[in-house]
Structure 1
Amino acid sequence: MLHVFHLDAGRMLCFDVGYAGHPVSKLKDQIQKAVDTSPNDQILMVSGGKILDSSKKVSSYDAGVDSSNPIFLILRDEKSDQIVAGSTKRSSFCASKEPLSEPQISKECETIFLRQLKLSPNDETFRVNVKLAHKCVACTDELSSSVFRLVNEQHLTHQGWFVVMAHLSDSVKAFKERNDKFRQKFNRFLSKRDFYAVLLEELPQDLETLKKVPILQCLLENSAKKGAEEEQERQKSKRKSISDITLYDWIIEKEPESSFGALAQDARYYLDQIIDPDLASNVVRWEDAVNRQYNDPMSEIKGMGERLAQLNNVVESFRKSQANQQKLSDQVVSCRGDPTLKPDVVWRRQLDILKELCKMNRYLFEQSQRVFQAKQELLFNVRVRLKWIRDTHDLIQKIDRDLVVKM
């Protein structure tokens, strides 16, 4: 199977492993069928925060085949309400539905046990007791399987959060590098802006000076080498001898005089724009805004390590309960075959054991509900933080656009 962990929903999506040999875009098409989200709104990441390229094969990334190292799916926009409401197609999930209610098998065990209490010992009721013991074990296994999955999903949710944060860290680092380069260029320009302003102010006098500077013979020879016959004709038409040609005349033959004025006008305009006193403060404000976002307490889910450790203890507790329930079930069978015990004694002992089996299953169901609630709380925290990450990325993109306009 190809495993894709839906971080917004906290569930694993499973697809045919054959899609590993196809481009990522094909996998996104399958994901769209499962979660009703267009490929453009899907972000697929692997450990380290690397985003999958839609044109590359899925197999070019070291993720997805192993359920402990899945591809992580994050939605570009918020669909938490739809996810909670169940818009995601359950048929695409790798496991059974969430334990929102007590398993049917648990209710059946309770019903059968209560009926057995009203009956007398005989071969048929003894056989029912044995079947009930096996059913109780099956119920324990079902509850345990559900809890194991819930705990694993919370581990993967935490792992996915680290993946998203790694990507955000790279984005913020790249933004700071771009911002630093802009500030360096901007500061270098500011240090010379007075010099540039003086050059523009003195441009008319410089042009007048050029009108008095005679042309150098080497410049004319260079023009001739490049086919300056037309230039010489124009010079004759203006009735100027070579001795009368100035450096200014030579320049405007190549660049009309009007372009000097336009150039100076444009230069003054852009100089005024770049020297905008608000720009420097805006650059600092932009960087501070991203720093505040990135250093926000939301970047860390506090107490997550302790929570996961407690959940691991719950898993161990369920495994022990599975083993204990199996032992009790075996006792129901073994005491029935003990020839030294009278039927009444066997009956009472079996009922006592069955009572313990049913009681344990009720306790395990309550525990599974707590684990489910813990997952819901984690998902709420993650969804809130995913919105924060989307906002941070939007802020970076907005600032980048502003920088491009200003540069």
Structure 2
Amino acid sequence: MLYIFHVDTGKMMAFDMNLALESVRHLKEVIERHCGIPVDKQVLLVSGGDCLDPTMRVCSYSAGTDTNPIYLFSKSTIESQSPPSLSIDFCPDLALKDQVEATHNMNDTYATVMTRVQLAQKFYDHAHEQSRACENLVHDQHLQQQGWAAVLANLEDITQAFRNRAELFNQSFNQYLETRDEYIKMIENFRADMDILAKIPLIPALLEKQPVTLLDWVSANNQYSLFQVAQTCLRHLEQLDEPLVASLKRDIEKALEHTARTDMKEIKGLEERLYGLEQLMLETKRIVQEQQDITQSFLSNQSRANVLGDASILPDLCASHRRQLIVMLSNHQHLLDIRGR
């Protein structure tokens, strides 16, 4: 399968592996049909910050696995005033509390033992499902962090390329300034040059019908006259002066300053959040193990009671099961609290 992780919503999407042989543009079209994000609003990044080129094959990039997916961002979501709806796949809550309370008033019989064993099994099964759902959520949040890291890497690459172009522009502009006055003087004197061209006859070998001047011949196939071209160049020379470029340089410096701001790059509290989630996952696994151990003890007690066939042990056994179900209910509620966090 080819895995695409939608960073905005925290949703992993799996596509046919054959798409890896298609172009990135085709993959974007498939994504548009699948989740409604227009092709021109999609940004696809891989770990390291490379942006997928629409003309390249998807397999040209070392990404697309479940542990190293292609990261999808929607510009529509970024431009929207409303936050995206998150993709959370929780298993349905069971009314286990009501079922526990219903067993409290049951008589101390073997049927009661069986009912409580089945209830304990429900607690364990539900705990296992909730733990898996929590694990998926934590994994998705780690992938969102990795997706953001890909954005930062891409930003660094773009910033460096922008800085290089800005430096090249400065060099070119400084060279231009050295000859700017000379160019302006040349164009201001161009009228006199045109007057001279207008007096020079064209050599007979280039004539077709009637005599023309060199100026007429040069201007014959141009949409604008040479004088208009010269005036356009002069206007551009006058506009491209030091104050204009100084303003442009200030804008460049301001843009570079924004890219260096840590408050734009770092998501405050994210590392602590992920660490806290890992600690909650450890607590979740502990609860699941405890639910499993209690369930196993229920099954062992049921088997022993069945083998012995002694009704005298049922009161103590049922009392023990009643207490253990209360513990399992407490664990269950704690697990739901962890899931909500």
TM-score normalised by structure 2 residue count? 0.83
Instruction: Show the counterpart of 1:318.
Output: 284
* Residue 187 of structure 1: how far off its partner (Å): 1.8
Instruction: Show the counterpart of 1:392.
Output: none
1:72 and 2:71 are equivalent in the alignment? yes
Summarize deviations over 1:96-154 as a string: whole Å, max 9, x none: 6247xxx333x2x2222111101111111111111111110011111101110111111
Instruction: Show the counterpart of 2:135.
Output: 148
Instruction: Show the counterpart of 1:169.
Output: 156
Q: Would you say the 8 A contact 1:9–1:80 is kept in 2?
A: no
Instruction: Show the counterpart of 1:104.
Output: 93
Which shows bigger deviation, 153-162 or 202-211?
202-211
Distance 1:13 1:310, change over 3 A: same
CA distance in 2, matches of 1:4, 1:43: 12
* Residue 191 of structure 1: how far off its partner (Å): 2.5
1:230 and 2:205 are equivalent in the alignment? yes
Q: Would you say the 8 A contact 2:191–2:227 is kept in 1?
A: no
Which shows bigger deviation, 282-291 or 53-62?
53-62
CA distance in 2, matches of 1:127, 1:74: 52
1:327 aligned residue (284, 290, 293)? 293
Q: Would you say the 8 A contact 2:110–2:314 is kept in 1?
A: no
Instruction: Show the counterpart of 1:81.
Output: 82
CA distance in 1, matches of 2:34, 2:81: 15
Matching of residues 142-221 of structure 1 within 5 Å = 142-201=129-188
Matching of residues 5-404 of structure 1 within 5 Å = 5-64=5-64, 66-78=65-77, 79=80, 81=82, 83-84=84-85, 97-98=89-90, 103-105=92-94, 107=95, 109-201=96-188, 229-230=204-205, 255=218, 261-262=227-228, 264-275=230-241, 277-296=242-261, 297-336=263-302, 337=304, 342-370=313-341
Q: SS of the residue aligned with 2:48?
A: coil
Q: SS of the residue aligned with 1:12?
A: strand
* Residue 40 of structure 1: how far off its partner (Å): 1.9
CA distance in 2, matches of 1:15, 1:263: 56
* Residue 158 of structure 1: how far off its partner (Å): 0.3
Q: Would you say the 8 A contact 2:124–2:292 is kept in 1?
A: yes
Q: Would you say the 8 A contact 2:194–2:215 is kept in 1?
A: no
- Number of residue equivalences: 329
Structure 2 unpaired stretches of 5+: none
Q: SS of the residue aligned with 1:51?
A: coil
Q: SS of the residue aligned with 2:76?
A: coil
Distance 1:135 1:365, change over 3 A: same
Q: SS of the residue aligned with 2:63?
A: coil
Distance 1:45 1:210, change over 3 A: closer
Read off the aligned partner of 1:31 and give its amino acid letter.
I
TM-score normalised by structure 1 residue count? 0.71
Distance 1:207 1:123, change over 3 A: closer
CA distance in 2, matches of 1:233, 1:68: 75
Identity among equivalent positions (%) equals 27
CA distance in 2, matches of 1:56, 1:305: 35
